[in-house]
Amino acid sequence: MQPILFIDRDGTIIRETEDEKIEKVEKLDFLPELLYYLKKIKEEFDYLFVMVTNQDGLGTEAFPECEFWPVHNFIIRLLESEGIQFDAIHIDEHYEKDNHPNRKPGTGMLTAYMNGDYDLAHSFVIGDRATDVQLAKNLGCKAIYLNSAYSDTTTKAELMPKGWKEIYEYLVSLR
Ligand SMILES: [Mg+2]
């Protein structure tokens, strides 16, 4: 069975911004060494690559789709130009107050991966928020909790790396 990497977008692939909204390329920065190490993971392992991202209020006046998609599509095109293809991308637009089952740490968008066809015991959620760690628990997989300004130190995960080099080396060490 194939294991999965459920990878968060903001704060994990690209830098989180203070207003938690990246609606123009001027606000876009990739995490250091992300492209190099994610490409190595893609090439050297057999993980399914699944992006899971909360985009609060996407489609509302506060965050219209016309602001979101050009930046998002650029991120995806750039990753693909390095050979980093995501097998699936799941985007939830709800706010925390909506309590919607699709919003991380809810698994509403991810039920297709929980039917026994994937090796969840050897799968990881990689993210920078406590909700990503909780998502891992809800999916029955492990958590890699990127250390960032937004990390909550009381949340424990299998690995709390500083960056993608450490994530790559950790995955290598498990082989
Ligand atoms: Mg994040």
Query: Tell me: the pLDDT tens digits for 138-161?
Result: 999 999 999 877 777 788 899 999
pTM: 0.96
Q: Is 29 marked active-site?
A: no
Q: How far is the CA of 83 from the centre of ligand 1 (A)?
A: 22
pLDDT digits (tens, 9 = 90+) for 62-104: 999 999 999 999 999 999 999 999 999 999 999 999 999 999 9
For residue 120, what are the contacts with CB-CB under 8 A and spacing of at least 6?
A: 3, 4, 113, 114, 139, 140, 141
DSSP summary character for residue 88: E
Q: How far is the CA of 126 from the centre of ligand 1 (A)?
A: 9
Q: How far is the CA of 151 from the centre of ligand 1 (A)?
A: 10
Give the domains, in start order, of the chain with CATH numbers: 4-33+45-125+135-147 (3.40.50.1000)
Q: Is 8 marked active-site?
A: yes
Q: How far is the CA of 174 from the centre of ligand 1 (A)?
A: 24
Strands (E), the chain: 4-7, 48-54, 88-92, 124-127, 142-145
